[in-house]
Amino acid sequence: MSMDKIIEVDIQKFSDDTHSHETDEVAIERAMTIKVIHLGEEHSLGILMRTPGNDIELVYGFLYCEGVISSSDDIVEINFNNDDFVVKIADECAFDSAEHIRKTSVSSACGLCGRGSVSSLIRVNAPVLPNDKKIQSSSISQSVNLLRSKQELFSRTGGSHAAAIIDYNGNLISISEDVGRHNALDKLMGTFLMDNKIPINDGFLVVSGRASFELTYKAIRCGIPIFIAVGAPSSMAVEMSMEHGMTLIGFVKNEVASVYSCPSRVIID
181 in the same domain as 255: yes
- 24 domain-assigned: no
**pLDDT value at residue 106:** 47
How far is Cα 85 from Cα 63, in angstroms, rounded to an integer?
Answer: 12
Domain end point (choices 73, 88, 122): 122
The DSSP secondary-structure symbol of 173 reads E
Residue 129 resides in a domain: no
User: Amino acid identity, residue 183?
Assistant: N
Phi, psi of 64 (to 5 degrees): -70, -50
Find the largest Cα–Cα distance for the chain: 66
Among the candidates 122, 146, 174, a domain finishes at 122
Please tell me the distance from the alpha carbon of residue 62 to that of residue 80, in angstroms, as a whole number: 16
User: Is residue 4 in a domain?
Assistant: no
Which residues touch 11 (CB under 8 Å, ≥6 apart)? Answer: 21, 22, 23, 24
Q: What is the pTM of this model?
A: 0.90
> Do 157 and 187 lie in a common domain?
yes
Give the domain extent around 35: 30-122
**Is the same domain home to 72 and 144?**
no
Neighbours of 175 (CB within 10 A): 21
pLDDT digits (tens, 9 = 90+) for 174-228: 999 999 999 999 999 999 999 999 999 899 999 999 999 999 999 999 999 999 9
The radius of gyration computed from the CA coordinates of the chain, to the nearest angstrom, equals: 19
Active-site residue list: 110
Q: Of 122, 146, 171, which marks where a domain is finished?
A: 122
Residues of the chain with pLDDT below 70 are 1-3, 100-123
What pLDDT sits at residue 119?
42
Q: Do 75 and 149 belong together in one domain?
A: no
CATH number of the domain enclosing 200:
3.40.140.10
- 182 and 105, same domain (yes or no): no
The confidence score (pLDDT) of residue 180 equals 96
**CATH number assigned to the domain comprising residue 107:** 3.10.20.10
* Integer Cα distance of 156 and 263 in angstroms: 36
Same domain, 142 and 113: no
Angle, alpha carbons 64-108-30 (nearest 5°): 105
Number of domains in the chain: 2
